[in-house]
């Protein structure tokens, strides 16, 4: 009898282990497909905004895309080459600051955008400068936002802003503003003041669209997680995401009888570029975990800004 019980226990244990591995594999595959679709949609939206609106009218945007457009206007270097060259330092920073998976997705997204710009022709839609600024920014911002939803980026400026916020203890939003002021001043000098002003309107349209596409998520997001598998989630956040967290005890109640359980409640703060990866890993560990996310304008101290870049 003891042997039968042991064999039965081993069988159930092996079956559960197989089911767990199989589920994680399926979740990983579906997550990759989900991310790829978002990134592909983002690539074509951004390419459409660039070729049908901005490029024919010599308008630029902010960030790495704006730098690429500006250099393309004052030189003979094709935009699809500059998109890659300008973003190389940002991808390297992304690898150091956020991680290998993000750097790979960002690289594929940026290379994909360059390939589409080089091979697919989109017709010019309008010559009206106001429409060009608004809708060029709209499609470009939507493209960047969709790529972020897929766990990558088409413009590496946010990575630089995150890096500077950790080194200089400044706000991410302030860093992005300073970077773009420099870009638009350069546009006013090399192109014209009117072009620079319209380009600022393009940037405003793109940034607002980007925020809308990613559901209004700010630079930082506070995440509260309640799960029976809190230890596995804790290890995932600290080891795979490289983030610090806080664990505190909680009681949950439900039903008419007031049944309650004790939980280890996990609280962590991450950047919006890491949300996709966190959701995927949570789905693998506990799809029934209760997760609450809230926007955070900025943080001070802790692992967000003090984490060593070589982790």
Helix (H) or strand (E) holding 267: strand 259-271
Q: What is the pLDDT of residue 311?
A: 38
106 neighbors 162 (Cβ within 8 angstroms): no
223 and 250 in a single domain? The answer is yes
Residue 165 to residue 183: CA distance in whole angstroms: 19
Q: Give the tokens for residue 284.
A: 């693998």
Mean pLDDT, the chain, as a whole number? 83
- Whether 176 maps to a domain, the answer reads yes
- Whether 304 maps to a domain, the answer reads no
198 and 229 in a single domain? The answer is no
224 and 177 in a single domain? The answer is no
Q: Give the tokens for residue 22.
A: 């199989």
* 89 has pLDDT over 80: yes
Q: Give the tokens for residue 54.
A: 């901005």
The predicted-structure confidence for 13-61, as pLDDT tens digits, reads as follows 667 677 777 878 787 788 888 889 999 999 999 999 999 999 998 888 8
201 and 225 in a single domain? The answer is no
The residue among 142, 127, 145 whose CA lies nearest residue 54 is 127
Q: Give the tokens for residue 259.
A: 């049944």
198 and 253 in a single domain? The answer is no
- Whether 2 maps to a domain, the answer reads no
* 294 has pLDDT over 90: no
Residue 58 to residue 92: CA distance in whole angstroms: 29
163 and 248 in a single domain? The answer is no
Query: Which residues lie across from 253 on neighbouring strands?
Result: 260
pTM of the model: 0.71
* 310 has pLDDT over 50: no
* 255 has pLDDT over 70: no
Helix (H) or strand (E) holding 164: helix 157-168
Provide the pLDDT confidence category of residue 272 given band limits of 50, 70 and 90. Answer: confident
Q: Give the tokens for residue 264.
A: 């280890």
- Whether 5 maps to a domain, the answer reads no
| Stretch 265-273: mean pLDDT | 86
- Whether 12 maps to a domain, the answer reads no
Number of domains in the chain: 2
What is the DSSP-derived secondary structure letter of residue 1?
A: -
The phi and psi torsions of 133 (rounded to 5 degrees) equal: -65, -45
- Alpha-carbon dihedral sign for residues 25, 28, 31, 35: negative
Provide the pLDDT confidence category of residue 249 given band limits of 50, 70 and 90. Answer: confident
* 76 has pLDDT over 80: yes
189 and 273 in a single domain? The answer is no
Provide the pLDDT confidence category of residue 224 given band limits of 50, 70 and 90. Answer: very high
The percentage of the chain sitting over the pLDDT mark of 90, rounded to a whole number, equals: 28
* 273 has pLDDT over 60: yes
162 neighbors 51 (Cβ within 8 angstroms): no
- Residue ranges making up the domain that contains 256: 218-294
Looking up residue 269, the CATH number of its domain turns out to be 3.30.70.120
| Stretch 98-119: mean pLDDT | 90
60 neighbors 66 (Cβ within 8 angstroms): yes
The predicted-structure confidence for 120-163, as pLDDT tens digits, reads as follows 999 999 989 999 999 999 999 899 889 888 888 888 887 887 77
139 and 173 in a single domain? The answer is yes
- Whether 1 maps to a domain, the answer reads no
207 and 236 in a single domain? The answer is no
228 and 105 in a single domain? The answer is no
DSSP states along 81-125? HHHHHHHHHHHHHHHHHT-HHHHHHHHHHHHHHHHHHHH------
Residue 17 to residue 242: CA distance in whole angstroms: 26
The predicted-structure confidence for 173-194, as pLDDT tens digits, reads as follows 677 778 888 999 998 999 889 9
Cα Rg of the chain (Å, integer):
23
Q: Give the tokens for residue 167.
A: 């080194």
- Whether 156 maps to a domain, the answer reads yes
Residue that is written with structure tokens 């995150």 in the block: 162
Q: Which of 95-99, 165-169, 176-180, 225-229 has the lowest mean pLDDT?
A: 165-169
Q: What is the pLDDT of residue 139?
A: 94
Residue 51 to residue 55: CA distance in whole angstroms: 5
- Whether 228 maps to a domain, the answer reads yes
192 and 232 in a single domain? The answer is no
Query: Which residues lie across from 248 on neighbouring strands?
Result: 265
* 6 has pLDDT over 90: no
138 and 155 in a single domain? The answer is yes
Q: Give the tokens for residue 217.
A: 């998520």
Q: Give the tokens for residue 219.
A: 């630079």
The percentage of the chain sitting over the pLDDT mark of 70, rounded to a whole number, equals: 85
């Amino acid at each position: 009898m003891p042997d039968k019980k042991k064999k039965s226990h081993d069988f159930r244990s092996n079956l559960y282990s197989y089911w767990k591995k199989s589920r994680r594999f399926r979740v990983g595959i579906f997550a990759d497909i989900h991310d790829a679709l978002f990134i592909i949609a983002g690539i074509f939206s951004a390419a459409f905004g660039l070729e049908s609106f901005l490029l024919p009218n010599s308008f630029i945007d902010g960030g790495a895309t704006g730098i690429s457009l500006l250099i393309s206007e004052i030189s003979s270097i094709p935009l699809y080459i500059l998109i890659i060259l300008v973003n190389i330092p940002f991808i390297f920073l992304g690898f150091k600051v956020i991680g290998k998976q993000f750097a790979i997705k960002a690289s594929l997204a940026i290379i994909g955008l360059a390939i589409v710009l080089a091979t697919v022709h989109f017709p010019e839609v309008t010559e009206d400068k106001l429409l060009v600024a608004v809708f060029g920014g709209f499609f470009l911002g939507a493209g960047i936002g969709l790529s972020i939803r897929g766990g990558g980026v088409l413009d590496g400026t946010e990575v630089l802003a995150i890096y500077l916020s950790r080194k200089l203890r400044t706000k991410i939003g302030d860093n992005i503003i300073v970077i773009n002021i420099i870009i638009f001043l350069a546009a006013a000098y090399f192109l014209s003041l009117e072009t620079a002003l319209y380009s600022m309107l393009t940037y405003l349209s793109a940034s607002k669209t980007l925020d809308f596409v990613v559901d209004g998520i700010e630079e930082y997001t506070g995440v509260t997680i309640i799960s029976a598998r809190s230890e596995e989630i804790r290890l995932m956040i600290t080891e795979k995401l490289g983030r610090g967290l806080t664990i505190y005890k909680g009681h949950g109640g439900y039903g008419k009888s007031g049944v309650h359980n004790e939980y280890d409640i996990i609280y962590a703060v991450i950047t919006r570029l890491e949300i996709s990866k966190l959701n995927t890993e949570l789905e693998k560990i506990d799809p029934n975990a209760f997760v609450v996310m809230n926007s955070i304008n900025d943080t001070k101290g802790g692992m967000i800004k003090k984490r060593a870049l070589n982790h």
